[in-house]
């Protein structure tokens, strides 16, 4: 009998490059670059400035393009259905802060978050001590702790990016992330601790990615999204701000940064060619950065794109843990005398 041949699944065809933006959308582009607003090329540290997803689009240079995004939603009933469901979550009131603050050790407070993962409300939690540079310019966060929450996408839906199923799935997980944040905030309020949920996609006071990296949600990927060991890049974030004395959880490294340096899958799959091969300097930090001005028009025209998330090898179910273990073994071999 001949050797068994295992055929790898054929990759899903992606849109061709180069991408040509809709002229009607580009007529709304402002005179200032989104990359400049983000601080690309700046060597001195500063706080981030709001560039998109403004609660009031009229307050940002790219507000007209944000409104164009709303107007370009395909006439598919799934969008209206999931948006109405998500809005009901956003609108639901939080319980009042009641009674004296419950007392637990910092470790016990953090361990108690495991209940929300066990119940399926979210897939991951972590805790970080707040830092001023995680707050947008002109905004303030008075709380001392930030609880980060991760909810995973359905891979089958995301693998259809940039199609409608992927766009609807992103909306759904933003709603689920908001539900998790409001549930955890409500739990804390009922134990006497003030707590405020912070949810997306609209920009609030808090940057989501930096505290998530600080408390164990993996590493920043070449595509500008976090790559987590278990969820890959295919998840959404929410947060809860509080002064309850949670113990911080440590950052996590799995060799993802070096992996991204050698991998070109998301870079080659990006229709507007917004993902670059090398790190760049942004507000005094050298890191992976996605060209905002190239990404946004395609993002808008496809209701969120997500191709880079879908094609990322870490996002495929079951791949992350085995890949992390392989990279760890390789690092151990290199470190051995």
Stated length of the chain: 337
Q: Of the ranges 5-14, 40-49, 175-184, which one carries the lowest mean pLDDT score?
A: 5-14
| 209-257 tens-digit pLDDT | 999 999 999 999 999 999 999 999 999 999 999 999 999 999 999 999 9
pLDDT at 12: 62
* Across 166-191, average pLDDT: 98
| 295-317 tens-digit pLDDT | 999 999 999 999 999 999 999 99
Dist CA 31 CA 128 (whole Å): 37
Q: 13 falls in which pLDDT band (50, 70, 90)?
A: low
Predicted confidence (pLDDT) at residue 15 exceeds the cutoff of 80: no
Q: Considering only CA atoms, which of 222, 224, 218 is closest in space to residue 323?
A: 218
Q: 14 falls in which pLDDT band (50, 70, 90)?
A: low
User: 176 or 73: which carries more pLDDT confidence?
Assistant: 176
pLDDT at 10: 45
Prediction pTM value: 0.93
Alpha-helical runs (H) found in 146-291: 155-158, 164-190, 209-214, 256-262, 265-269
Determine the distance from the C-alpha atom of residue 281 to the mean position of all C-alpha atoms in its chain, rounded to a whole number: 20
Q: 8 falls in which pLDDT band (50, 70, 90)?
A: very low
Dist CA 143 CA 188 (whole Å): 13
pLDDT at 335: 76
Q: What is residue 272's DSSP assignment?
A: T
* Across 131-139, average pLDDT: 97
Both tokens of 265, joined, read 């899958």
- Proportion of the chain above pLDDT 90, given as a percent: 91
């Amino acid at each position: 009998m001949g050797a068994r041949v295992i055929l790898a699944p054929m990759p899903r065809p992606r849109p061709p490059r180069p991408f040509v933006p809709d002229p009607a959308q580009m007529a709304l582009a402002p005179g200032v670059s989104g990359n400049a607003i983000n601080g690309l090329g700046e060597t001195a540290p500063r706080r981030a400035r709001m560039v998109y997803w403004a609660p009031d689009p009229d307050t940002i240079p790219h507000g007209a393009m944000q409104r164009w995004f709303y107007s370009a939603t395909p006439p598919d009933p799934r969008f209206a259905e999931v948006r109405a469901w998500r809005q009901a979550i956003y609108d639901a009131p939080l319980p009042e802060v009641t009674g004296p603050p419950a007392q637990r050790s910092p470790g016990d407070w953090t361990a108690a978050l495991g209940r929300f993962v066990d119940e399926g409300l979210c897939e991951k939690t972590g805790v970080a001590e707040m830092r001023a540079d995680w707050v947008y310019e002109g905004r303030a966060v008075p709380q001392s702790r930030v609880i980060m929450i991760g909810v995973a996408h359905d891979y089958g839906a995301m693998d259809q990016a940039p199609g409608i199923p992927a766009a609807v799935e992103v909306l759904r997980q933003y709603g689920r992330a908001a539900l998790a944040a409001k549930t955890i905030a409500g739990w804390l309020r009922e134990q006497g601790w003030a707590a405020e949920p912070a949810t997306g996609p609209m920009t609030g006071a808090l940057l989501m990615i930096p505290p998530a990296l600080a408390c164990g949600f993996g590493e920043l990927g070449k595509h500008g999204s976090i790559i987590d060991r278990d969820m890959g890049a295919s998840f959404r974030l929410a947060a809860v701000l509080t002064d309850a004395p949670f113990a911080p959880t440590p950052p996590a490294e799995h060799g993802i940064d070096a992996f991204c340096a050698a991998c070109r899958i998301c870079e080659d799959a990006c229709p507007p060619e917004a993902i670059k091969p090398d790190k760049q300097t942004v507000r005094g930090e050298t890191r992976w950065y996605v060209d905002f001005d190239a990404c946004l028009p395609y993002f808008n025209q496809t209701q969120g794109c997500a191709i880079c998330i879908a094609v990322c090898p870490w996002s495929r179910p079951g791949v992350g843990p085995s890949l992390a273990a392989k990279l760890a073994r390789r690092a151990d071999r290199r470190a051995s005398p």
